Amino acid sequence: MARAVVLSNGELCVSLDERGEVRDIYYPHVGLEDHVRGHYVHRLGVWVDGQMTWFGGGEWDIRVSSETDALASAIVAKHARLQLELTFKDIVYNEKPVFIRRVSVLNKSDRKREIKLYFAHQFEIYKSHGSDTAYFDPETSALIHYKGHRVFLIGARLDGEPFQDYTTGRANFQGKEGSHVDAEDGELSKNPIEHGPADSILGLYGSYAPGQSRTCYYWLAAAQSIQEAKDLNAYVVKKTPEHLVKTATNFWHAWVNAYQWDFDGLTAEHVALFKRSLLNMRAAVDKDGGILASVDSDMLQYGLDTYSYVWPRDAAYVAHALDQVGEMNTAQRFFSFSRDVLFEEGYFLHKYLPDKSLGSSWHPWIKDGIPQLPIQEDETALVIYALRKHYERSKDLDFLEEMYNPLVEKAANFMVRYRDPQTNLPLPSYDLWERKRGVSTFTTSAVYGALIAAAELSRVLGKDTHESRYRLAAEEVKEALLEHLWDEKEEMFINMLTPVGDSYERDTTIDISSIYGVFSFGILPITDPRLHKAWDTTVRALGRGITSGGLARFDNDDYYQIDHNSAGNPWAITTLWYAEYLTARAKNDHDLDRVRDIFSWVVRHAQPSGVLSEQLHPHTGVQVGATPLTWAHAAYVLAILAYLEKRRSLGI
């Protein structure tokens, strides 16, 4: 199931699925060590009138949304036959690694009933199966799961009273389904401890008068020792869960509204998704500065892998978006992360884990017996480009000084060196989409933008020699792009030059990143007819066969391909790139109508919780791929900001 809600404080990150059940628990880094791993689930169940129903069973009408202006869920679950309604608010406390669920249970029947609410837990601590321990701790009236330095304490109270019933057991082992089965008769066996593939379940029991609603609180505290977990539990009990929910909500409300924008010309739905996008981006930020592409553990790719990595590409776009809205502290921490993981030679490798170790990759160090550098040079370029934008917003000279030698200078020197001496184009690397290796128009454009950025940052610090070197290299790259990557006959920028022996083979696949790179990094001015013609050709080709709206990445994109008669699946990112271009071309408010239509298209294809996916079904518009995708939210925010700035510049 796709992730409908992601809640995080940079240390503890919890993902809920479309049924409101917990599917991922990351700790102590966002995106690293998923202790549930998606293939397990923390079940929710209700026992009433002698029968048990589980949220995952399909009998409940469950609407998962997000609270306005807060990184919190808003879930309503209704069961018409059983005359029950449950309302959830879930949040991760912003100051400490504690996940809290506030659940209001409404008895819609006209008679008094006993209602039992169950929370079941299946962990895979350290992402490894077995050797866990689960036990009931009488001192804290809590369940505790632990393995090594990972401890999860679970408490719950109904109207201030601790849960009355519990048991521990084994799940997914020797035919055992799990301890939740013990709840089918409305009673738990109170087995006090279990080890191995241990699981647990707790029950909150109460009597409900006709029409009565009662509120319970459930919390999970994550720690690296049992004593630390108990101290966190004592903190929750002392402060009260309701107080923590309230203060965390206030924090997020203040954060997302810290900077005021004039949203005139946008609908309430456009604005709501803008704020949700800010919150969803922030949820993907780790305490050590890494920005995760996605924390959707169901996203399997290349050998059962996920998107829970820091791609410098995705992260640079997110940092840039956060900078543009004024959230410069988060972006600054990402640039510090980037400095720490940059190779001594001045480039980034494919992707990283949030603890700054190297992530998995499918880019080889040797091909056809010839060694090669397994990089996407656009990733190195995008970070430097984003850092310049960061300085323009922050004017933090001390931070620029701190970043210049170990990040800016190293990366810029690499980009100057890593060029073909015959053409002045960058040497081959993997493209933006991580599929082809060669000299792509997008990467070449990004290198130009990054070298201009490095020159400008050098100018600020009075480094004249560096500035001249980077500016000269940038102009050489730009001239080479226009000479070698523009196809005069087809009036298009070609996708890539692929090395074949001592020469290059032309890859003329229509790819939206080609024209977007030329446009976004300022290779050509917005009035240049080459830009207009290439965009028109690209949009026609990449909308082919897509009835749900939107644009594919490139012609015949086979990644999650659904319909071979269409160009591919539409992406929010690529469609929003087109919106950026239309915004830049606009001469009046009428010209912005198509831009607003694209914003409405994105809103329609978001989940009710405001989550954007990587791509969509070309006909139904159903979400496909990693969900949420942080880069998609960044693209939406950047497109909205460009639109607002355009309206200001037009005097609207």
Rounded Cα–Cα distance for residues 552 and 540 (Å):
11
- CA of 442: how far to CAs of 382, 490, 495, 513, 584, in Å? 11, 18, 8, 6, 19
Residue 639: strand pairing partners: none
652 inside domain: no
Decide if 293 is inside a domain: no
Distance CA 486, CA 500 (A): 19
Cα of 555 vs its chain's centroid, Å: 26
Instruction: Answer whether residue 1 shows pLDDT above 80.
Output: no
Specify if 536 maps to a domain: no
| pLDDT for the residue numbered 533 | 95
Residue 173 has pLDDT above 90, yes or no: no
Instruction: Assess contact for 143 and 137: CB atoms under 8 A.
Output: yes
Per-residue pLDDT at 299 exceeds 70: no
Whether residue 423 is contained in a domain is answered as yes
Question: Residue 391: which H helix or E strand, with range?
Answer: helix 377-394
Please indicate, yes or no, whether residues 266 and 248 belong to a single structural domain of this protein: no
**Residue 300: which pLDDT band, with cuts at 50, 70 and 90?**
low
Residue 301 has pLDDT above 50, yes or no: no
Between helix 226-239 and helix 241-256 the angle, nearest 10°, is 90
Task: Mark whether 503 and 554 lie in a shared domain.
Answer: no
DSSP per residue over 558-604, as a string?
-TT---TTSS---BHHHHHHHHHHHHHH--SSGGGHHHHHHHHHHHH
Out of 530, 553, 578, pick the residue that ends a domain.
Answer: 530
User: Residue 600 class from Cβ within 10 Å (0-12 exposed, 13-18 middle, 19+ buried)?
Assistant: middle
Number of folded domains that form the chain: 3
Mean pLDDT of 63-90: 97
pLDDT level of residue 171 (50, 70, 90 thresholds): confident
Per-residue model confidence (pLDDT) at position 302 = 42
Nearest to 143 by CA among 224, 27, 221: 221
Cα distance between residue 474 and residue 449, in whole Å: 8
Query: What phi, psi does 226 have (nearest 5°)?
Result: -65, -40
Report pTM: 0.96
Q: Residue 291's closest CA among 408, 382, 389?
A: 382
Q: Is residue 303 part of a domain?
A: no
Domain that holds residue 605: 261-287+543-647
Give Cβ neighbours of residue 525 (< 8 Å, ≥ 6 apart). 531
Report pLDDT for 549. 96
**Same domain assignment for residues 425 and 341:** yes
- Nearest to residue 536, comparing CAs of 551, 558, 523? 551
The DSSP 8-state label assigned to residue 316 in this structure reads H
CATH of the domain at 246: 2.70.98.10
Q: What pLDDT, on a 0 to 100 scale, did the predictor assign at position 130? A: 77
Residue 538 falls inside a structural domain:
no
Residues 6+ apart with CB under 8 A from 24: 3, 13, 14, 15, 34, 36, 37, 38, 295, 296, 297
220 shares a domain with 138: yes
Q: 553-575, pLDDT tens digit by residue?
A: 999 999 999 999 999 999 999 99
Cβ–Cβ under 8 Å, residues 22 and 14: yes
pLDDT attached to residue 303: 47
Q: Which two tokens stand for residue 425?
A: 């184009």
**HSE-CB for 535 with a 13 A CA cutoff:** 23
Residue 537 lies in a domain: no
Inform me whether the pLDDT recorded for 579 exceeds 50: yes
Residues 446, 518: Cα–Cα separation, whole Å: 8
pLDDT at 240 over 80: yes
Task: Please give the residue that has the higher pLDDT: either 164 or 152.
Answer: 152
Closest Cα partner for 26 from 17, 39, 35?
35
Residue 490 sits in the same domain as residue 357: yes
- Nearest-angstrom CA–CA distance, 307 and 434: 13
Do residues 207 and 318 both lie within one domain?
Answer: no
Last residue of a domain, one of 472, 505, 530: 530
CA distances (Å), origin 197, targets 109, 247, 544: 39, 36, 50
* Residue 607 identity (one-letter amino acid): Q
229 shares its domain with 112: yes
Q: How does pLDDT run across 107-143, given as a tens digit for each residue?
A: 999 999 999 999 999 999 998 777 899 999 999 999 9
Report for 171-180, 437-446, 502-511: range of highest mean pLDDT: 437-446
Q: Are residues 279 and 334 in the same domain?
A: no
Do 193 and 273 belong to one domain?
Answer: no
Residues 32-49: what's their mean pLDDT?
92
pLDDT at position 10 over 60: yes
In terms of domains, do 283 and 332 share one?
no
Residues 194 and 337 in one domain: no
CB contact at 8 A, 342 and 411:
yes
Place of tokens 């001249």: 468
> What is the amino acid identity at position 107?
N
Between CA 42 and CA 53 the distance in angstroms is 14
Tens-digit pLDDT profile for residues 468-488: 999 999 999 999 999 999 999
Rounded to 5 degrees, what angle do the CA atoms 347, 351, 354 make?
115
Q: What is the CATH number of the domain that holds 321?
A: 1.50.10.10
Residues 365 and 400 in one domain: yes
Of 614, 624, 619, 521, the residue nearest 574 (C-alpha): 614
| Within-domain flag for 32 | yes
Last residue of a domain, one of 495, 530, 565: 530
Helical ranges in 157-311 per DSSP H: 226-239, 241-256, 268-283
Q: What would the pLDDT profile of 608-625 be if each residue is shown by its tens digit?
A: 999 999 999 999 999 999
